Amino acid sequence: MNLKMLPLLLGAACGLSACASVPTQYLTLTPETPMVREESFGILQGKGLPLLVAHVQMPADLDRLYLTREQSRNRFKVADHVRWIAPLSGMAQRVLAQDMAAALPHKTVFMPGDPTPPGPYLLLRVVVQRFMPTDSGQVELNADWFVLNMSTQHILAQGRSSLQAASRQHPRDQAAAMSQLLAELAQTVAAHLR
């Protein structure tokens, strides 16, 4: 072996071992308050029509397994070793449903995976335009939402929410701030349904 090649090979081996030694972090979104469910599906306990939270629509550049962060106006950074445990849109739907149930304790709120309620019900649709941390220490959620009465097809409430929360740069803190913004969105929607 040529002795001139030895430092290059050692450097490459060290570089590869450094990449392999970085453990992957797994993140999840969590509801603001844990939900305790004590209802029977045979009889709906809540007041008024039950509420079903539809799948949260999210742009493809955000709904990915790796955490996406905005670096500048037209530049995103996809984290190499920071992953969501599930697709972001599905987690947002679950957390939003749990936050809605906490915000509307006297209304029946169905969770993702529950059977579609028999008879009339309300459907909450959320279309996200932006939901990510930025390099400036903020997390932003911009979303349009509407609540539809599925039996009459009338929109009962609708809005456009633009929410921000301060966050540290650690991915765990950014995920917590994103969860907080979903809770704020749930409170905004719930205020129109009380």
Q: How confident is the model at residue 43 (pLDDT cuts 50, 70, 90)?
A: very low
What is the reported pLDDT for 4?
63
Q: How confident is the model at residue 61 (pLDDT cuts 50, 70, 90)?
A: confident
The maximal CA–CA distance of the chain, rounded, in angstroms, is: 81
Q: Tens digits of per-residue pLDDT, 5-28? A: 656 656 666 655 555 578 899 999
Chain mean pLDDT for the chain: 86
Average the pLDDT over each of 41-55, 65-79, 95-109 and give the range with the smallest value.
41-55
Q: What is the mean pLDDT of residues 158-186?
A: 95
Domains of the chain: 50-192 (3.40.50.10610)
Q: For residue 137, name the pLDDT band (cuts at 50, 70, 90).
A: confident
Average pLDDT over residues 145-160: 96
pLDDT over threshold 80, residue 191:
yes
